[in-house]
Chain A
Amino acid sequence: MGQLSVDLCGIRLDNPVIPASGTFGFGYEFADVYDINCLGTFSFKGTTKEPRLGNPTPRIAECPAGLINSVGLQNPGVDRVISEELPKLRKVFRKPVMANISGFSLEEYAFVAERLDGEDCVGWIEVNISCPNVHGGGMSFGTDPKSAGQVVSAVKAVTKKPVIVKLSPNVTDVTEIAKACEEKGADGISLINTLLGMRIDLKTRRPVVANLMGGYSGPGIFPVALRMVFQTAKAVKIPVVGMGGVSSAEDVVEMMLAGATAVEVGSANLVDPAASKKIIDSLPETMQKYGITNLSDIIGGAL
């Protein structure tokens, strides 16, 4: 039996598999399907200072190898996340959870991070500076090294928990953003968020999603994600969490060879609610097939 555990910013994960924010809610929908304590951890639904309904519907468009979403950070706001969602989460998940946060100003990021810093069940704070869905929102922080660094400074100032910055792929050079975040004290980098995409309905001749465009995710983006994880892992010394189209144990191994310390699984959870569990269950067999005895040994093996 191979060794699956990895260390992510000083916290041990039993395995590197982490359902990605926005595809796993606050966990309890999935706890009806399987015992989610088998996960390394999971990243909960992106949380903002104020409650948000998100974008108008339709918000979903299918693609040949994935989907486009323009949910627009729908969430009940950090106060209700703490008072209503986290108690429900704690009933079904005993491990430290990753808190995904977003904001529309430095003050909002700091506000949400400070609130969640007081929650014992939160292990890491994953800072989304890259959501492509919100007009004038997260996008601007994630596409400029300076403003990305400002977000990191603002969040680091109010929390002792490890801060992982989730980067957008919709930039010219993702390593510039990653290095700016590292310089301002980020404890880790996660990438990639969704790629900006679009579909048009041939019958109506109108964009399928009401917001016109949205974030493309799913197996179609895996090679792009892998390339950016590889480039980022070469550019920074802090841990990198890889994500983007991961759908199998083989994909997890490939991401880790590209430099990922842990791997997030997103869209796959929406098509098969047990996808993350199935990936974890098939990791030992996949490790054996490729001669891996200790999964953490292969991190960055292809760099």
Chain B
Amino acid sequence: MENVILTVTENRPITPSGNVYRMKLEGDVSAVSRPGQFVNLKIDGLYLRRPISVCDVEDGLLVLIYKVVGKGTEKMAAAAPGDSFDTLTGLGNGYDLGPAGERPLLLGGGVGVPPLIYLAKELARRGAKPSAVIGFNTAAEVFGEEELSRHCESVTVTTADGTYGAKGFVTDALPQQYTHFYCCGPMPMLKAVYGSTVTDGQLSFEERMGCGFGACMGCTVRTRDGYKRICKDGPVLSKGEILWDN
């Protein structure tokens, strides 16, 4: 974990729905070590920081994609180039790339898609041939298809209302063969993916957090391997350790 000041270089809506933004920030992002990690932004006028998953990272540049859902993300959406955020970087365990195998499958739902973009890039860099299935409510909310296509063998998009790609959910469009799966999305999707996948895999969870770095015990869940803090021991849990009775 590092506490750094990051400066906005770009911040604009990327979907026709107008409520999903891509923000690019400049600064020291060396603490981000793995896809699936998150950063925690201090936002003027709000007491708690806002955890946002890392969509991509390069030397000195951090990309976040976020949906405007409340006061914190509303204030983020209002930020202009040159504005800066006090940010804790390199939070969470992130995805383990070790068990990916040759043909890993990436499964994303809504704003669960962004961390898969960084993940796809890293998997491809290591010689794997990932494919992705990403789901949205409707055509106006679709994003990430092009970014994922740069690193994936195939990208399938589903929409619940059938206005773009295949009609249905991500779990309706799973390929026959894959070596390992990586998932990020809302809780109903995580449960459906858990029940529909045939290999081992890793799922990223969301929970209301106090600190984001393991101190407050605000986001603890029970797993087969004991109690885990979603912010510090997660947000990524392996399929085998998940219990759904929390």
Is B221 touching A67 in the complex (CB atoms < 8 A)? no
The one of B208, B209, B219, B227 in contact with A53, judged by C-beta atoms closer than 8 angstroms, is: B227
Q: Does B74 contact A (CB under 8 A)?
A: no
Kindly name the residue among A30, A57, A64, A272 whose own CB sees the greatest number of chain B CB atoms within 10 A.
Answer: A57
Q: Does B246 contact A (CB under 8 A)?
A: yes
Is B210 touching A60 in the complex (CB atoms < 8 A)? yes
Is A271 touching B219 in the complex (CB atoms < 8 A)? no
The one of A61, A218, A270 in contact with B211, judged by C-beta atoms closer than 8 angstroms, is: A270
Tell me, in angstroms, the Cα distance from A297 to B213 when the chains sit together: 37
Q: Does B244 contact A (CB under 8 A)?
A: no
Tell me, in angstroms, the Cα distance from A33 to B88 when the chains sit together: 11
The one of B1, B208, B222, B232 in contact with A60, judged by C-beta atoms closer than 8 angstroms, is: B208
Binds B, one of A18-26, A121-129, A165-173, A282-290: A18-26
Chain B residues, Cβ within 8 Å of A61: 208
A57 to chain B, nearest CB (A): 6
B19 to chain A, nearest CB (A): 15
Q: Does A281 contact B (CB under 8 A)?
A: no
Tally chain B residues at the interface, Cβ within 8 Å.
Answer: 26
Tell me, in angstroms, the Cα distance from A22 to B216 when the chains sit together: 6
The one of A57, A64, A218 in contact with B207, judged by C-beta atoms closer than 8 angstroms, is: A57
Secondary structure of the A contact surface, majority rule: loop
Is A30 touching B47 in the complex (CB atoms < 8 A)? no
Tally chain A residues at the interface, Cβ within 8 Å.
Answer: 36
The one of A29, A58, A274 in contact with B215, judged by C-beta atoms closer than 8 angstroms, is: A29
Is A23 touching B216 in the complex (CB atoms < 8 A)? yes
Q: Does B218 contact A (CB under 8 A)?
A: yes
Tell me, in angstroms, the Cα distance from A66 to B3 when the chains sit together: 20
Residue in chain A with minimal CB distance to B49: A271
Tell me, in angstroms, the Cα distance from A219 to B88 when the chains sit together: 21
Chain A residues, Cβ within 8 Å of B103: none
Tell me, in angstroms, the Cα distance from A23 to B218 when the chains sit together: 10
Chain A residues, Cβ within 8 Å of B218: 57, 59-60, 69, 71
A48 to chain B, nearest CB (A): 13
- Known A58-B208, A74-B227, A274-B3; judge A25-B214 contact (CB<8 A): yes
Is A74 touching B3 in the complex (CB atoms < 8 A)? no
The residues in A between 187 and 233 inclusive whose CB is less than 8 angstroms from any CB of B are 208, 218-219
Is A29 touching B220 in the complex (CB atoms < 8 A)? no
Is A33 touching B3 in the complex (CB atoms < 8 A)? yes
Residue in chain A with minimal CB distance to B88: A273
A222 to chain B, nearest CB (A): 13
Kindly name the residue among B209, B210, B216, B246 whose own CB sees the greatest number of chain A CB atoms within 10 A.
Answer: B216
Q: Does A65 contact B (CB under 8 A)?
A: yes
- Known A62-B46, A69-B210; judge A57-B3 contact (CB<8 A): no
Q: Does B42 contact A (CB under 8 A)?
A: yes
Chain B residues, Cβ within 8 Å of A271: 42, 47-49, 211
Q: Does A140 contact B (CB under 8 A)?
A: no
Chain B residues, Cβ within 8 Å of A32: 1
Q: Does A54 contact B (CB under 8 A)?
A: yes
The one of A58, A219, A270 in contact with B216, judged by C-beta atoms closer than 8 angstroms, is: A270
Residue in chain A with minimal CB distance to B219: A57
B70 to chain A, nearest CB (A): 9
Q: Does B4 contact A (CB under 8 A)?
A: no
B8 to chain A, nearest CB (A): 21
- Known A30-B215, A60-B209, A273-B3; judge A53-B48 contact (CB<8 A): no
What are 17 A-B contacts with C-beta separation under 8 Å? Answer: A22-B216, A45-B217, A57-B218, A59-B208, A59-B218, A59-B219, A60-B218, A64-B47, A67-B48, A67-B210, A69-B218, A71-B216, A71-B218, A74-B227, A271-B48, A271-B49, A273-B211
Interface residues of A (CB under 8 A from B): 22-25, 29-30, 32-33, 45, 53-54, 56-67, 69, 71, 74, 208, 218-219, 267, 269-274
9 closest residue pairs by CB, A with B: A270-B211, A58-B208, A60-B218, A74-B217, A60-B210, A60-B208, A71-B217, A59-B218, A62-B48
Interface residues of B (CB under 8 A from A): 1, 3, 42, 46-49, 88, 207-211, 213-222, 227, 232, 246
Beyond A57-B246, A74-B227, 4 extra complex contacts between A and B, CB < 8 Å: A33-B3, A45-B217, A53-B220, A271-B211
